[in-house]
Amino acid sequence: MEYRKLGTLDLEVSVVTFGAWAAGGWMWGGTERKDAVEAIRASYDLGVTSIDTAPIYGQGTSEEIVGEAIKGLPRDKVQILTKYGMRWDLNKGELAMKSKDNNGNDIDVHKYAGRDSIIKECEDSLRRLGTDYIDLYQIHWPDVTTPIEETMEAVAQLIKEGKVRQAGVCNYDVAQMQEAEKYVKLASNQVPYSMVKRDIEADVVPYCLENNKAILAYSPLERGLLTGKMKPGYTFSEGDHRANIYFFNDENLKRTDDFLQKIKPLADEKKATLAQLVIRWTIEQAGITIALVGARNADQATQNAKAINIKLSQDEISFITDELNKLELVKP
């Protein structure tokens, strides 16, 4: 495994990081707890020491699974990345979505990052994770109802108390990062980035490169789209959010598969899967520090971790990018 520092700070994370959204089951059609725990442990055995989770993933379930998976491991050899600011149990802030929990009950999810809420969320996360500190604490989504100053000063206080090591943000634009930086030293910005979603290259990437901020790329496989396993006619299970996303309509599945078939000979040459090739390409892109990759079981986790073993020359990276630039997806 390879490891990289988050920005200029002393926190090192595995370049392939375990993304625990799917492990929590919420919006993914449920979860098998035993499989999820085994997936995290299989990743760790291959050097994936960093795990990204959040309270909203299964309304605490994902964090509990992470806590169970790391129990007994040396705490200083594991990096826990979790979040705050998405409340399903508090009617404050901006309504983000109406959803259902893992039991099928209706819930309202709010973006809220007020000071007292953050303090409570941190204590709840520490309890579920079974630890006394969080390595990277990230606001999950911008909260337009709370001043960034109030939010970041609360996190700075948690750092001072030793409950949090480093502060990060998710889904922030450059202006929001600049404002947050006035009140706390930011290590990173976690944003969506994949072969078919590269808009951050225009502004966030240049800013982070110039200011030594790490970029944590989430959904690098675009929620399974880039694995090569989805063909036109693919059927999602009940409760799977992907069923209503334009990436997964039949025409885009066909166009994506056509692109993947063009780069498959390179994957075959490397004795790699398409997903592994995509992950390696992603972490080779300018400004991308790590790729957050989810897994539902130990086999998937093992395959993801082994993506690090692939080596790509600059010519091979350029070949993939040139083919990718010819791909045009149909947008709504």
57 is catalytic: yes
3-state secondary structure of 56: coil
**List of residues 6+ apart from 221 with CB closer than 8 A:** 194, 227, 275, 278, 279, 293
Question: Would you state the structure tokens that stand for residue 24, as one six-digit string?
Answer: 């929590």
Q: What are phi and psi of 7, to 5 degrees?
A: 60, -135
pLDDT tens, residue order, the chain (332 aa): 999 999 888 899 999 999 998 776 655 555 678 888 999 999 999 999 999 999 999 899 999 999 999 999 999 999 999 999 999 999 999 999 998 887 888 899 999 999 999 999 999 999 999 999 999 999 999 999 999 999 999 999 999 999 999 999 999 999 999 999 999 999 999 999 999 999 999 999 999 999 999 999 999 999 889 998 888 888 777 777 788 888 888 899 999 999 999 999 999 999 999 999 999 999 999 999 999 998 889 999 999 999 999 999 999 999 999 999 999 998 88
Q: Which of 57, 183, 193, 207 is catalytic?
A: 57
The answer to whether 34 and 69 have CB atoms below 8 angstroms apart is no
> What does the alpha-carbon distance between residue 15 and residue 276 come to, in Å, rounded to a whole number?
13
Structural domain boundaries in the chain: 3-224+274-310
Buried residues in 59-78 as b, exposed as e (16+ CB within 10 A): bbbbbbbbbbbbeeeeeeeb
Nearest CA to 48 out of 69, 65, 30, 28 is that of 69
**List of residues 6+ apart from 112 with CB closer than 8 A:** 85, 86, 87, 90, 92, 93, 94, 143, 145, 146
- For helices 298-305 and 274-283, what crossing angle results, to 10°? 50
DSSP symbol at 244: G
Global pTM reads 0.92
Nearest CA to 148 out of 164, 172, 166 is that of 172
The CATH H-level superfamily of 3-224+274-310 is: NADP-dependent oxidoreductase domain (3.20.20.100)
Rg (CA), the chain: 19
